[in-house]
A and B are shown apart, each in its own frame.
Chain A
């Protein structure tokens, strides 16, 4: 073991734990979100150290990129909601007790102050939150440190086990692809991937069921920089996404990474799009969002009747089928991520 690499591992782990601690201890939500994005990027480096380049790609694109964009737009929405002038102040029933303030006997807990002082620093107050109350500090610390110790003790006693790597290597020739992870995801354990696509779809439907979306609160004012940057970045992002999709059969890459890159491109476009443009046709959007899971299910059912079994493919047809499924999945993941960023159904749907 190289001493320099070992030092690197320790520094990286210490950095991850430190960033996570500062993120969760923060009283400023914006700072917490930025620290969380940093955490995701550091995590991607850790995955590279663990010989998992696929996961590193996914973590950088999804864990840090898309989640970060979702968190930032949520903060903008929260700020917008908290700062909305209250029209019903006079005949408003007494607001429910704020547990953040009432539970906190620590100094510096959120002031419940009068409406005037609330409004004065509303701009900052909307994105700040009370520090954790002092009560229960030690019991939580003891419980979580004890849990960490137990987990580590369990991990230390664990015997080395080669896992399923030899089994996967043995069956690679019937999988239709040359990359172990893609073979597992889309052939050996395709149930997982189908249910995962269903999960993505479910999250999108859940967000849509909460109501129609507002215009993005912090829509950048139309200027030359953002549309220009998007014009330059969009072709690069599309080529990268399609390359990742195609590369998945023989190298790190695949539908999820490709979907995340294309979804990020879609988020940029939705930010830079002129206000006057109408929203895309919601029916097309619905078809696109469900296409991945339905296509996967249809091909899986075809496997039940024409092939070996449900969700399994004959090895000579496996490669084209996997590529079709991955293309559908990429499209659906990208569209769902953009839809989740925009949030809510399209206002055009009810007209």
Chain B
């Protein structure tokens, strides 16, 4: 049993746990920054499953899975940056960094630069 516990077997389980943990945070927390962090943690769990499966066995790891993960990290940081920009914009318009039910109510003056 111990012999079969190479990183390629162990880490995908960790990745699955990270994904579920991130999903839990995404559902439970309301603040958008925390939700963005939760999505990032879910993504890291997916990367861990990918890289873990790629590293299984004694052969060199699968470079296609690693290349896809590299692409995924860059896409994740781009999407995170855009989500953070949207969060700041929402806070500027409404004063809250949480999603409110109903139509967007602007109750602060819009930013002077947005006229």
Chain A minimum-CB-distance residue to B96: A98
Render A13-35 as a binary contact track against B, CB cut-off 8 A, 1 for contact.
10011001101111001001100
Contacts of A161 in B (CB 8 A): 53
Q: Given A24-B34, A78-B97, do A151 and B70 touch, yes or no (CB 8 Å)? A: no
Interface residues of A in 143-185 (CB under 8 A from B): 143-145, 147-148, 151-152, 155-156, 158, 160-166, 168-169, 180-181, 183-185
Chain A minimum-CB-distance residue to B114: A211
B88 touches A78 (CB 8 A): yes
Q: Given A16-B18, A50-B61, A165-B60, do A185 and B70 touch, yes or no (CB 8 Å)? A: yes
Alpha-carbon distance A43/B33, docked complex (angstroms): 20
Contacts of B31 in A (CB 8 A): 29, 100, 129-130
B25 touches A184 (CB 8 A): no
Contacts of A105 in B (CB 8 A): none
Chain A minimum-CB-distance residue to B30: A100
Interface residues of A in 71-108 (CB under 8 A from B): 71, 74-75, 77-78, 81-82, 86-88, 92-93, 95-100, 103
B82 touches A50 (CB 8 A): no
Render B80-115 as a binary contact track against A, CB cut-off 8 A, 1 for contact.
111011111101101111101110010111010110
Chain B minimum-CB-distance residue to A259: B74
Q: Given A24-B29, A181-B67, do A71 and B84 touch, yes or no (CB 8 Å)? A: yes
A140 touches B62 (CB 8 A): no
Alpha-carbon distance A100/B99, docked complex (angstroms): 10
A180 touches B63 (CB 8 A): yes
CB of A192 closer than 8 Å to a CB of B: yes
CB of A54 closer than 8 Å to a CB of B: yes
Chain B minimum-CB-distance residue to A103: B30
Q: Given A6-B5, A32-B33, A55-B51, do A86 and B19 touch, yes or no (CB 8 Å)? A: no
Chain B interface residue bracket vs A? 35 or more
Alpha-carbon distance A46/B18, docked complex (angstroms): 13
Render B35-69 as a binary contact track against A, CB cut-off 8 A, 1 for contact.
00110110010011101111111011111111111
Number of chain A residues close to chain B: CB under 8 A: 111
Contacts of A347 in B (CB 8 A): 113
Contacts of A211 in B (CB 8 A): 89, 111, 113-114
Chain B minimum-CB-distance residue to A26: B34
- Among A9, A36, A52, A344, the residue within 8 A (CB) of B69 is A52
Alpha-carbon distance A51/B98, docked complex (angstroms): 39
A160 touches B29 (CB 8 A): no
Distance in angstroms from B18 CB to nearest chain A CB is 6
- Among A141, A155, A202, A210, the residue within 8 A (CB) of B16 is A155
Alpha-carbon distance A235/B111, docked complex (angstroms): 38
CB of A279 closer than 8 Å to a CB of B: no
Chain A minimum-CB-distance residue to B21: A20
14 pairs of residues in contact across A and B, judged by CB atoms under 8 Å: A9-B10, A32-B37, A62-B77, A74-B87, A100-B30, A100-B31, A133-B28, A163-B54, A165-B61, A165-B62, A189-B64, A193-B71, A256-B70, A256-B74
Instruction: Name 4 extra pairs, CB < 8 A, besides A24-B22, A24-B34, A55-B70.
Output: A13-B11, A77-B88, A81-B91, A98-B96
